[in-house]
Amino acid sequence: MLLQVFVYLQLLDLITTLLGFRLGASEASPFIRALIYLGPAAGVALSKFLALGLGGVCVWLKKDRIIAWINYWYAGLVFWNLCVILRVLTVAN
């Protein structure tokens, strides 16, 4: 179940980040900002592939507790993205 939540949160982060970019929001993470020089979609997608790869390593090493903590982090990140999107939408109107 932890791995499914991890994958869903990665997808939600991808979608909310790209939506935020489309609405004019900027990226706070220096790592992701460096990757988006490849293009916003390509950079964020690459970061998701890296995250999924690291998640796979955690599963392979049987580090489920790390996946659980990462899930909390990404849940907070998706919530943050939604707050940014809501703020951009309310300021625009």
Q: What pLDDT does residue 27 have?
A: 86
Report d(CA 19, CA 82) in Å as an integer. 9
Q: Tell me the average confidence (pLDDT) per consecutive run of 10 residues in the chain, 93 residues long.
A: 94 95 89 90 94 94 94 96 93 73
Matching residue, tokens 């943050």: 80
How many independent structural domains does the chain possess?
Answer: 1
Instruction: Supply the DSSP symbol for 36.
Output: G
Domain that holds residue 25: 2-92
